[in-house]
Structure 1
Amino acid sequence: MPLPTHDRYPFSVIDQRKDFSWPGGKRLAFYLCFNIEYFAFGAGMGSDVGLANPAPNHRSYAWRDYGNRVGLSRMLDLVDELDLPACHNVNSFLYDAHPEIFKRIRARGDEVIGHGRTNAERILPAWEEDERRLIAEATAALNRNEGKPPKGWLGPWLAETWVTPDLLKEAGYTYLLDWACDDQPIWMNTRAGKILSVPYPIEVNDSPAIVFRHHSAREFADMIVDQFDEMLRQSERQPLVCPIALHTFVVGQPFRLGPLRQALKHCKTHPQADRVWFTRPGEIADYCYSMPPDTLVSG
C-alpha cells in the first residue's frame, strides 16, 4: 500500500544528476541567514530558554527582544569584520515596531526575505484565503519599505499548509526555503508553474541546535566548521549549497559570538576558499533561473 505523499518534486539521488558549477567555476555556495523576528507580549508562540513561565512570561519575551535591541547589531559587526554577505528572514511587523534596525541592513546591500508577519503565529492551520491574506500583508510590507518585492520566503517556524508553495508562486515569489530536503536547489511544482527550493538548514541552525538540543556555543561552531569542510570536499563531485541559519537572540549573545567568529573566519580564510561562492539565496536563485531548465531536479 503506497503511503500518502506529495507531487511537489520527484525523488532523485544526488550522485546521479547533471553536473554544473556556480559563477566563476565555484563549487560550493555558502550563505548566512539571520532570522530577525518579532513576538507578541503575553500571547502567541515563541522560543523559550527554559520552562515556560505563566503569561505574560516577560522573561522569555525580553530574551527574544534582546535579539533586536542588541544581538543583531553585534552580528552585523561580525559579518562586517569578516566581509561576509548576509540575508535576513524578516517578520514584517518589525517595519512598524522597530524600523530603525533596517538602516544597517540596507547600507550593506543585504537581501531581505519574507518570513511572515510574526513568529508569534504559525501558518498551519489556516484556510487558504487566510493564508493568502497573511502572505499578501507580509509581502506588501517588505515591498513598501524596501522599494522592491522579496524574492524568497521562509515560513514562520518553517510551517506550510497543503497550498503554501502555490500561494507563494501566485504572489510572485521565485524561491522558498521551507523544504530542507536537499543540498542542491530543486524545482518544485505548483499549480501556477515551477518555484525554486533553495537549501535551508534544520541541522546547522542555532535555534534547534542550541535552544532545543542544548548544544553549547562551541559545539555549534564546530558544526559550522565540520559542515563547511565536508561539503567543500564533497563539492568536488557535485556543486552544493552550504547554508547557515542564525537567530539574533541566540548567537547574538556575547558568549556565543566568539566561537561563531572563529567558525566563520575558518570558512572565509580556508585555503580553498577560492572554490567557494560567498553569496545570498536570492543570488543563488537568480543563477538557477539563468541555467537551462533541465539542469536541476524537476518534477
Structure 2
Amino acid sequence: MNSLPLLPKHNRYDYVPLTERKDYSWPGGKRLAFTITTNVECFAFGAGLGHDPAKTGEPQTHRNYSWRDYGNRIGIWRFFELFDELGIPVGHNVNSLLYEYAPQVMTAIRNRGDEFVAHGRTNAENLRGMWQADEQRIIQEVVDTFIKHEGVAPKGWMGAGAYETSFTPDLLKEAGFQYLMDWPMDDQPIWIKTRSGPILSIPYPIELNDSQVIIHRKQDATDFCDMIVDQFDEMIEQCIAHPLVMNISIHPYVFGQPFRLRNLRLALKHCLNHPNIDRVWVTKPSDISDYCYSLPPGIIPGSY
C-alpha cells in the first residue's frame, strides 16, 4: 500500500512540548512576563491595504482611512495617558513612515522611554509575494529610518499584518534584528532557525489581539477585556510550573475609542492589582529578548 505523501514542512523550529522544556525564571524570580504592544500604523489614502470598519474586502475610501487615522490623532494619546496612569512601560509596533506623518507620536514614545518595535514602512503594504532583494531593501530602509531618528536600530520586528515570505527571518537576522513576533505558536520565547544563525521569537497574540476580536470576529469590548482578565488569571497560576509570556496587542484606532478604553482600564487594573502580582514582570519585549540572550544555551527551546 502506498504511503501518504509527507505534509509540507518548515525548518524554522522543532517540536518541543512544554512538558519537556527546561525551567527558568524571569529577573527577580518572576514567573510571568507581562507586556503590552500597541500597533501604531499609517496608511495610504484611497490605495493599498487596510481594514474597513463595516466589512472585510471593502475598497479604500476616505471613510475607512479616517477611521484608522483616529488612532493617530486621538487614540494613541489616550493610550499614553492610560499607561502613565498605570505606570507601565510599553512596546510600540510602529510603521517607519510615522516619522513623516505623525512625528509627535514618535517623540512621545521616545519621551516615555518605551520601545520602538519595527512594524514595516506602512500597513498599506505587506511583504507577501516580494522578491528577496525587494524585501531586503524595504527591511533595510526601515532600519535606516529608525537609526536616523533614534540613533540606534530597533531590536525587534513585527511584520505588517504579521506576514512573511520564506526569506523574512533570514533577512531580519542579517539586518541585525534580535527578535521577531510574527510566529504565534507559543507562550514562551523560542529560537527560530535562520541561514545566518538563530533569531528569537517572542510570543505575540493572534487571540488576545483587539483587531482580531473586534474587527474580524465582531465581538465587543467587554469580550476582549474579559479575555485579558481570564488569560491573566489562568497564566498567573500556570506560570508556577512554567515561565510564561502574556502579550496584549491593542490598536489605537480600536481600543483608543472612549467606550472601549474604560473597559481596558478596568481589565489592566485587575491584572496589575492581582494578589499574586509578585510573580509578574511588567516589561517590554526587548527586555524579554535581552534576558533570553543572557541565558545559557540549552535553556530556551531551539538553543544548543
TM range (shorter): over 0.9
Measure how far apart 1:145 and its partner are.
1.0
Measure how far apart 1:52 and its partner are.
6.5
Residue aligning to 2:288: 284
Whether 1:271 and 2:272 are equivalent positions in the alignment is: no
- The residue correspondences of 1:35-46 to structure 2 (distance < 5 A) are 35-46=39-50
Residue aligning to 1:18: 22
Cα distance in 2 for partners of 1:198, 1:220 equals 22
Cα distance in 2 for partners of 1:178, 1:78 equals 26
Name the aligned partner's letter for residue 124 of structure 1: R
The structure 2 residue matched to 1:180, chosen from 175, 181, 184, is 184
The structure 2 residue matched to 1:240, chosen from 235, 244, 249, is 244
User: Is the contact made by 2:40 and 2:252 (CA closer than 8 Å) also made in structure 1?
Assistant: yes
Name the aligned partner's letter for residue 222 of structure 2: R
Residue aligning to 1:144: 148
Cα distance in 2 for partners of 1:42, 1:55 equals 8
The structure 2 residue matched to 1:165, chosen from 154, 162, 169, is 169
Whether 1:200 and 2:210 are equivalent positions in the alignment is: no
Cα distance in 1 for partners of 2:57, 2:295 equals 51
Residue aligning to 2:98: 94
Residue aligning to 2:158: 154
Coordinate RMSD, CA, aligned: 1.1
- Equivalent position SS for 1:122: coil
Structure 1 outlier segments of 4+, above 2 Å: 51-56
Name the aligned partner's letter for residue 69 of structure 1: R
- The residue correspondences of 1:42-61 to structure 2 (distance < 5 A) are 42-51=46-55, 57-61=61-65
Taking structure 1 as reference, are residues 21 and 47 closer, same or farther at Cα in structure 2, changes over 3 Å only?
Answer: same
Structure 1 portions without partners, runs of 5+:
none
Measure how far apart 1:107 and its partner are.
1.3
User: Is the contact made by 2:147 and 2:153 (CA closer than 8 Å) also made in structure 1?
Assistant: yes
Cα distance in 1 for partners of 2:136, 2:108 equals 31
Using structure 1 for the length normalisation, give the TM-score: 0.98
Name the aligned partner's letter for residue 148 of structure 2: R
Residue aligning to 2:263: 259
Sequence identity (%): 55
Residue aligning to 1:67: 71
Whether 1:112 and 2:150 are equivalent positions in the alignment is: no
- Equivalent position SS for 1:145: helix
Cα distance in 1 for partners of 2:266, 2:150 equals 32
- Equivalent position SS for 1:193: coil
Measure how far apart 1:147 and its partner are.
1.4
User: Is the contact made by 2:52 and 2:58 (CA closer than 8 Å) also made in structure 1?
Assistant: no
Taking structure 1 as reference, are residues 273 and 54 closer, same or farther at Cα in structure 2, changes over 3 Å only?
Answer: closer
Residue aligning to 1:84: 88
Measure how far apart 1:54 and its partner are.
7.0
Measure how far apart 1:2 and its partner are.
1.6
Cα distance in 2 for partners of 1:228, 1:54 equals 35
Measure how far apart 1:103 and its partner are.
2.1
Which deviations, in whole Å up to 9, do the C-alpha atoms of 1:16-52 show, x marking residues without a partner? 1100000000000000001000000000000110137
Whether 1:3 and 2:7 are equivalent positions in the alignment is: yes
Using structure 2 for the length normalisation, give the TM-score: 0.96
